[in-house]
Amino acid sequence: MKRQTKQAIRQTVIIAVVMSGLMLLLSILATEGEQQQDYKPGSAVISSDVLEYKPLVEKYADKNDVEEHVDELLAIMMQESGGRGKDPMQSSESYCGSRGCIENPERSIEQGVEHFATVLNEADGDVQLAIQSYNFGPGFIDYVEANSGDYTQKAAIKFSQEKYATADNQAKYRCPRKEAKKIDACYGDIYYVRDVMAYRNSLADM
């Protein structure tokens, strides 16, 4: 009888442990699901991780005389990383020419804001052109000036197609958007301005 009682207690303990583990796992998965939804490009939801960096963005925006563009800078960060990682503004390439050389969030923001200020100046204050050039690089500004003169979605697509067509190694371009892949516009993100501005507009409603 005692042996049966002990076995019943063990079974109850095991079941309780298993159930606790399952509940914990479900809680973690639910949290991760919410975070992934926040970070989904184009969802127009600014994550709490990005908003935590707002004081630093304001600091360097003021230093670079672009304090009126803090919302655009936060929106760029959201599009780039959702505020995650050591390089939340993905500004390594503008700093050293390759990915991953910045491993400090504040340094990433400092460089990202400075880079935005530079392309904004080169774009003569055209915010959308500056935003797309943050993604494409300043060469897009020269391209636009030599053609239409102002940023347009059509110009972004054509620039991407031409850069992709003449690339030495097309395999290095992931082309994550199906719409872009269909038209061979795999250099950079042709919908970068659209999504960044959607994030920026969501900040105005907060």
Total structural domains in the chain? 2
Tokens of 43: 């969802």
Pair (21, 54) in one structural domain: no
Question: Which among 79, 88, 130 is positioned nearest to 109, based on CA atoms?
Answer: 88
CA distances from 200 to 43, 126, 194 (A): 12, 16, 10
Tell me the residue range of the domain where 133 lies: 48-204
Please report which confidence band the pLDDT of residue 7 belongs to, taking 50, 70 and 90 as the band edges.
low
CATH number, domain of 54, equals 1.10.530.10
Query: Both 116 and 79 in a single domain?
Result: yes
Evaluate whether 122 touches 141 at the Cβ level (below 8 Å).
yes
Residues 87 and 121 in one domain: yes
Per-residue pLDDT tens for 75-111?
999 999 999 999 999 999 999 988 899 999 999 999 9
Residues 105 and 73 grouped into a single domain: yes
Residues 130 and 52 in one domain: yes
Kindly state whether residues 183 and 93 are assigned to the same domain: yes
Q: What is the DSSP letter of 68?
A: G
> Does 113 lie in the same domain as 29?
no
Same domain, 88 and 173: yes
Tally the C-alpha atoms within 13 A of residue 31's C-alpha that lie toward its C-beta: 6
What confidence tens digit (pLDDT) does each residue in 133-142 have? 999 999 999 9
Shared domain for 55 and 32, answered yes or no, is: no
Residues 52, 35 within the same domain = no
Percent of the chain exceeding pLDDT 70 equals 78
Tell me, yes or no, if the pTM score tops 0.85. no
Identify whether residues 19 and 70 lie together within a single domain: no
Is the same domain home to 27 and 105? no
The CA-based dihedral angle spanning residues 148, 152, 154, 159, taken in that order and rounded to the nearest 10 degrees: 70
Q: Indicate if the pLDDT at residue 196 is higher than 90.
A: yes
